[in-house]
Amino acid sequence: MLVFGYDPARHDRFQNDSLFLGSEFNWSGVGRGNRWAVLVSDSYVLGAAHSAPSIGSTIEFYPTNDPSDGVVLRTVIGAQQIGQSDLWLGQLDRPVGGLGQDDSMLSGGDSGGPTFTIVNGKPVLVGIHWFTYDDGNGGIGSADSIVADVSQIAALNAAMNGESLSLVNLTVLAGDMNADGVVDNLDVGPFAIALLDRMTFAQAYPEVDPDVTGDFNGDGVLTNSDIDGFSRVVAVD
């Protein structure tokens, strides 16, 4: 993962610094061995099929952000690709038990790492790092295999031998840019910030995805084209 303006204290979990932007959350389910793997139940992990942990390899899970606190080790004993996707489901030798937005993009070698969003103050798994690409305009983009897809969820649950994913239902109130549960004039300022400065918006409202909450024309991204729709909602409410 490449982070613009990288600072170890803020962006490296194992610096064990209070400035770490994820310090308030539990990352103990994010494992690493020769490849990434993230817990989705006590005995199963997800990774990228094209860069998956090998059978017999060891996955390391750290209960805290301080690596000196100890490590929980588990061995991969089984695995399968989910359909034709890049999702890889691995089975551990025994249950783990008890383990759990800055501008950034994926980089080569980061395949299998997890992508989270924050819902109700907790990190929720939404994707597994897949690939990067040239956007044709001098920039670099990146993409995930999306976990929260109905067919993927069904296939994962069917393969987990009695264990299953824990799902989170997310209801988005369109236009609620400050996440106070209502749409009113107090959302106008945050909406404008989201349009002009994503980094500032993410720091002020980390729980809000502006491309979801502020998307009124259905193209999946917040742009100036959404201003009219947002204005109508605010005026009605």
Average pLDDT over residues 210-234: 89
124/208 same-domain check: no
Each residue of 35-52: pLDDT tens digit? 899 998 889 999 999 999
153/99 same-domain check: yes
Q: Please determine, for residue 121, whether its predicted confidence score (pLDDT) is greater than 80.
A: no
Q: What is the spatial order of strands in the sheet that 122-134 belongs to?
A: 114-119, 122-134, 140-146
Q: Are 124 and 206 in contact (CB under 8 A)?
A: no
Residue 43 maps to a domain: yes
pLDDT band for position 62 (cuts 50, 70, 90): very high
194/95 same-domain check: no
* Total domains, the chain: 2
Enumerate residues 6+ apart whose C-beta is below 8 A from 65.
Answer: 13, 14, 16, 20, 23, 27
Average pLDDT over residues 167-181: 82
Highest mean pLDDT among 21-30, 125-134, 183-192, 197-206: 183-192
Q: Please determine, for residue 181, whether its predicted confidence score (pLDDT) is greater than 70.
A: yes
pLDDT at position 5: 81
146/206 same-domain check: no
pTM above threshold 0.75: no
pLDDT band for position 237 (cuts 50, 70, 90): low
Between residues 115 and 120, the one the model is more confident about: 115
Residue 219: domain span: 185-236
Residue 217 maps to a domain: yes
Q: Distance between CA atoms of 129 and 131, rounded to whole angstroms?
A: 7
Q: Are 118 and 135 in contact (CB under 8 A)?
A: no
Enumerate residues 6+ apart whose C-beta is below 8 A from 102.
Answer: 3, 4, 5, 10, 11, 21, 199, 202
pLDDT at position 112: 82
What is the residue type of 190?
P
217/101 same-domain check: no
CATH of the domain at 135: 2.40.10.10
Residue 137 maps to a domain: yes
Domain boundary among 158, 174, 207: 158
Highest mean pLDDT among 3-7, 24-28, 106-110, 148-152: 24-28
- What 3-state DSSP class applies to 22? coil
Residue 180 maps to a domain: no
143/203 same-domain check: no
pLDDT band for position 101 (cuts 50, 70, 90): very low
